[in-house]
A and B are shown apart, each in its own frame.
Chain A
Amino acid sequence: MKVKVLEIINDIRGKKGLEAVEDLVEGMSLRDDLGMDSFELAELTVRIEDEFGVDIFEDEIIYSVDELLNKLSNAE
């Protein structure tokens, strides 16, 4: 799961010419550490929903890697 999420994040980063990140580390912020703006965050949620069937923004908007991975493992 984490590998796929990383792949999606790197694909989104790649589209605006940012380097791929090697790993998702605890405490990372999607916006500040991974450089995602609101359009990219929105893209991330849609692609995760298509991949895992989980709407990570369903209850509230999330901004960190930890929250994202928690949400996905809870839904499994």
Chain B
Amino acid sequence: MKERIERRIMFTMMITLITILWQFLLDGITENDYANFKIVFSIFLFITIYSVTERIITYYIQFNFLLQKVLLFVSFMGLFRGVGWVFGWHMPHSFDQWISAVIAVVPIYIIWYFIDLRNARKIARDINLQIKKREEEQSKL
């Protein structure tokens, strides 16, 4: 897990560095470029923080599916709110807006869950076929 987190941090740092260099190479950093850079950087920062949090939560709370998903969602929204506050994004602030945000995210989770479940079943089926094949070969011997 440590390696994965390190890899994700390194990836973000690399992308950020490339973005900075790219900005310099073009025509120096203008005010507009700086604003673009902030957006790019904050997106990658957000992805890193989110993925690292996800890994940590999955690592420690993998035994409880519901708690894991709730914590993931809370961390997701919290981090998004935090990053948005730092970079001055317009974030949902009223209760209704937060509810709308939740309604928007929940179907994504549901779709993702079913896709993931289907993939897991496929892997299980493939492994079982291989086990069966091995058993047949052994019985021939």
Q: Do A and B come from one complex?
A: no
A residues whose Cβ falls under 8 Å from a Cβ of B: none
